[in-house]
A and B are shown apart, each in its own frame.
Chain A
Amino acid sequence: AQSVTQLGSHVSVSEGALVLLRCNYSSSVPPYLFWYVQYPNQGLQLLLKYTTGATLVKGINGFEAEFKKSETSFHLTKPSAHMSDAAEYFCAVTINAGKSTFGDGTTLTVKP
């Protein structure tokens, strides 16, 4: 079985500041890891994913995440927050072709 924990249900940063959204996972086998973003009144869209290979993955809108096996983490970062980044972010883990398990989400607020 797998599980995902997102630390911090709400994160607030100033425009231009570093964004760090935390995700830890539990999995008995090598996982596939994902970050999704959900803008208000919309469905979820993929930001980035880790399957195999390079542990630092880059996604859309300047986001990136690093898979750290030793820490069972897949934290999402962006060097400089923009107002348009305000949204809810979900971390997810999938094993092989099975069910995706999602975290509870982190709401990112960007202050001007």
Chain B
Amino acid sequence: GAGVSQSPSNKVTEKGKDVELRCDPISGHTALYWYRQSLGQGLEFLIYFQGNSAPDKSGLPSDRFSAERTGGSVSTLTIQRTQQEDSAVYLCASSSLTNTEAFFGQGTRLTVV
């Protein structure tokens, strides 16, 4: 696609439920990132993929968070047993090997009630 696409754009879920957030990076981009942005806060790094592998997953806040990437393309961020503190905007970005600029999606706004 022309840009990074994230779905859904908004998600409201009940505490304790699992959620899946999807990211479609720009075609051909090998690097993919997930960030979290809480209200009024900066960007919190979650995980970085190069191809299908994740050389850096140091930012995942707990074992309730996991992510995978298949075919070097689409990535899914899964949050199990959601808590209210998980409420935030989850941003995905991708970049290529030759151009290290990161292109961001519009984000998924997650609200846990």
- A interface, CB within 8 angstroms of B: 32, 34, 36, 42-46, 49, 51, 90, 92, 94, 96-105
What residues of B have a CB within 8 angstroms of the CB of A92 in the complex?
102
Decide: A94 near B104, CB < 8 A? Known: A102-B42, A103-B42.
Answer: no
Stretch touching chain A among B61-69, B70-78, B91-99 = B91-99
What residues of A have a CB within 8 angstroms of the CB of B33 in the complex?
99-100
Interchain CB contact under 8 A, A100 and B107: no
Shortest Cβ gap from A46 to chain B (Å): 6
- Among residues of A, the one whose C-beta sits closest to the C-beta of B96 is A97
Q: Can you identify 15 A-B contacts, CB atoms within 8 angstroms?
A: A34-B101, A43-B105, A43-B107, A44-B104, A49-B101, A51-B100, A96-B100, A97-B31, A97-B100, A99-B33, A100-B102, A101-B45, A102-B35, A105-B42, A105-B43
Of residues B30, B33, B42, B50, which shows the largest number of chain A Cβ atoms within 10 Å of its Cβ? B42
Interchain CB contact under 8 A, A90 and B100: no
What residues of A have a CB within 8 angstroms of the CB of B35 in the complex?
102
| Count of B interface residues, CB-CB < 8 Å | 26
Interchain CB contact under 8 A, A90 and B91: no
Shortest Cβ gap from A56 to chain B (Å): 18
